[in-house]
């Protein structure tokens, strides 16, 4: 669910969003809206010959609207009685000191939701969520405090019964929750999802601030460990939630080494990783072995990077340069059989040992690109 704050709300640099103020304004006293954008392109103006604008080769065309309507009409969102699990959640929330403001079905899939005011002390982020951005929280505190309104409900689910303090988890709303707690709010408005599994769809649901590779990977491995305790499902079962099998291995690497340069290895891992068809309790052991192999390779790569620096070469792309040079997939024929993770790491380890920094010239590094060593 996207954030929606009035004028003055400041997004992070990665949160590209179009402000409504750029399109519509309200003229006080007139009862009318007007647009600051040009009303029509030149080819649609009266008296002009209609022309079809040319689309440059390679330009992505705008997706067309669906020709068939789907979902529910506005009058259908409350047209039926809620099922038993929703009614049960209603009673639980009010027994916890909350208040149900509305019960309805969301318009696309028709699934039931509850708009509820929850005691803020009973709400916590999911335990496998990324760390807070202090800057983002501070901005929210300033804006909410200045306008004196909280307009964007968080998403929440009922926490597992094993929880002692927090009775509700939010997979999408941690920054807003933290800001409201700092401001001293007693309650917070949440859109309650009856299905607890929604808490594990965190990467798809969390739109507060764009994830970088480290954040994605850490969220996935935290979620992985939580799910591994709950059941014996395979990694494939949670392919939607995990999004990319490489995030699992990288997450373990980041846990062991917070400043690990995962961005240098991610393109390779995307080619050789796949979701394991084993129970996650077994697969986690294999993932730990893969993470340790990758960290051992990284130690050898770092040694070669230091040798290049000692030679006088300076570039934020030195690690990506070395990784690219020893990448066994770089010039592999397209029709060749794909390499497994172990095969790729073995070949990279051998190639790294043979890498000779003395043969590398300044222009070799200058021609290379990749992920800067710090930007991971």
> Which pLDDT tens digit goes with each residue over 353-365?
999 999 988 888 8
Number of domains in the chain: 2
Q: Dihedral sign for Cα 347, 353, 359, 362, please.
A: positive
Residue 42 forms part of a structural domain = no
Which residues on adjacent β-strands are paired with residue 118? 188
Q: Are residues 225 and 192 in the same domain?
A: no
C-alpha dihedral over 9, 15, 21, 23, to 10 degrees?
Answer: -170
Residue 197 forms part of a structural domain = yes
Residue 65 forms part of a structural domain = no
Residue 188 forms part of a structural domain = yes
Q: Are residues 303 and 182 in the same domain?
A: no
Q: Are residues 139 and 243 in the same domain?
A: no
Residue located via tokens 């290379």: 368
Q: Residue 44 above 70 pLDDT? A: no
Instruction: At 170, list the tokens.
Output: 């939010």
Which residues on adjacent β-strands are paired with residue 305? none
The pLDDT assigned to 366 comes to: 77
Residue 56 forms part of a structural domain = no
Q: Residue 352 above 50 pLDDT? A: yes
Residue located via tokens 């007693």: 186
Contacts of 10 (CB under 8 A, 6+ apart): 139, 143
Q: Are residues 88 and 175 in the same domain?
A: yes
The pLDDT assigned to 231 comes to: 79
Q: Are residues 115 and 263 in the same domain?
A: no
Residue located via tokens 């300076």: 314
**For 77-122, how does the pLDDT look when each residue is reduced to its tens digit (9 = 90+)?**
998 899 999 999 999 999 999 999 999 999 999 999 999 999 999 9
Could you list the residue range(s) of the whole structural domain that residue 284 is in?
211-376
- CATH number of residue 196's parent domain: 3.90.1530.10
The pLDDT assigned to 75 comes to: 93
Residue 346 forms part of a structural domain = yes
Q: Are residues 3 and 134 in the same domain?
A: yes
Q: Residue 68 above 80 pLDDT? A: no
How many whole angstroms from its chain centre is CA 128? Answer: 13
Q: Are residues 337 and 225 in the same domain?
A: yes
Q: Residue 326 above 70 pLDDT? A: yes
**For 53-63, how does the pLDDT look when each residue is reduced to its tens digit (9 = 90+)?**
555 555 556 66
Q: Are residues 126 and 229 in the same domain?
A: no
> What is the rounded average pLDDT of the residues 290-314?
94
- Boundary residue ending a domain (208, 242, 267): 208
Query: How are beta strands 112-119 and 187-193 bridged, if at all?
Result: antiparallel
Q: Are residues 155 and 278 in the same domain?
A: no
- Boundary residue ending a domain (193, 208, 223): 208
Q: Are residues 223 and 285 in the same domain?
A: yes
Q: Are residues 202 and 217 in the same domain?
A: no
Q: Dihedral sign for Cα 198, 201, 205, 209, please.
A: positive
Q: Are residues 175 and 267 in the same domain?
A: no
- Boundary residue ending a domain (141, 174, 208): 208
Residue 49 forms part of a structural domain = no
Q: Could you tell me the pLDDT band of residue 29, with boundaries at 50, 70 and 90?
A: very low
Residue 16 forms part of a structural domain = yes
Residues 292, 298 contacting (CB under 8 angstroms): no
């Amino acid at each position: 669910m996207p954030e929606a704050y009035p004028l003055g709300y400041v997004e992070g640099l990665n949160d590209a969003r179009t402000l409504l103020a750029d399109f519509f304004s309200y003229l006080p006293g007139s009862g009318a809206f007007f647009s600051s954008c040009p009303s029509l392109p030149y080819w649609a103006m009266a008296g002009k010959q209609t022309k079809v604008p040319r689309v440059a080769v390679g330009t992505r065309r705008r997706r067309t609207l669906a020709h068939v309507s789907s979902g529910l009409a506005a009058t259908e969102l409350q047209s039926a009685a809620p099922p038993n699990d929703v009614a049960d959640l209603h009673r639980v929330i009010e027994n916890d000191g909350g208040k149900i403001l509305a019960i309805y079905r969301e318009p696309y899939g028709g699934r039931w939701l509850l708009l509820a005011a929850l005691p803020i002390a009973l709400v916590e982020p999911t335990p496998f969520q990324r760390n807070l951005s202090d800057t983002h929280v501070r901005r929210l505190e300033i804006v909410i405090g200045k306008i004196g309104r909280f307009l964007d409900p968080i998403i929440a689910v009922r926490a597992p019964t094993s929880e002692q303090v927090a009775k509700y988890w939010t997979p999408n709303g941690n920054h807003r929750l933290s800001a409201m707690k700092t401001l001293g709010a007693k309650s917070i408005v949440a859109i309650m999802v009856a299905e607890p599994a929604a808490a594990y769809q965190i990467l798809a649901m969390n739109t507060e601030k764009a994830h970088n590779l480290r954040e994605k990977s850490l969220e996935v491995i935290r979620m992985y460990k939580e799910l591994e305790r709950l059941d014996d499902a395979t990694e494939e079962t949670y392919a939607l939630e995990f999004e990319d099998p490489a995030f699992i291995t990288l997450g373990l690497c980041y846990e062991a080494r917070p400043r690990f340069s995962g961005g240098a290895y991610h393109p390779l891992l995307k080619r050789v990783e796949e979701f394991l068809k084993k129970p996650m309790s077994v697969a986690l052991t294999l993932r730990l072995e893969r993470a340790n192999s990758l960290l051992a390779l990284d130690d050898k790569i770092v040694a070669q990077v230091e040798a290049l620096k000692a030679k006088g070469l300076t570039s934020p792309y030195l690690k990506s340069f070395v990784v690219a040079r020893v990448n066994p997939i770089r010039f592999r024929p397209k029709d060749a059989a794909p390499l497994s993770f172990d095969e790729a790491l073995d070949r990279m380890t051998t190639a790294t040992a043979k890498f000779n920094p003395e043969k590398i010239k300044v222009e070799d590094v200058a021609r290379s690109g990749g992920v800067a060593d710090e930007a991971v």
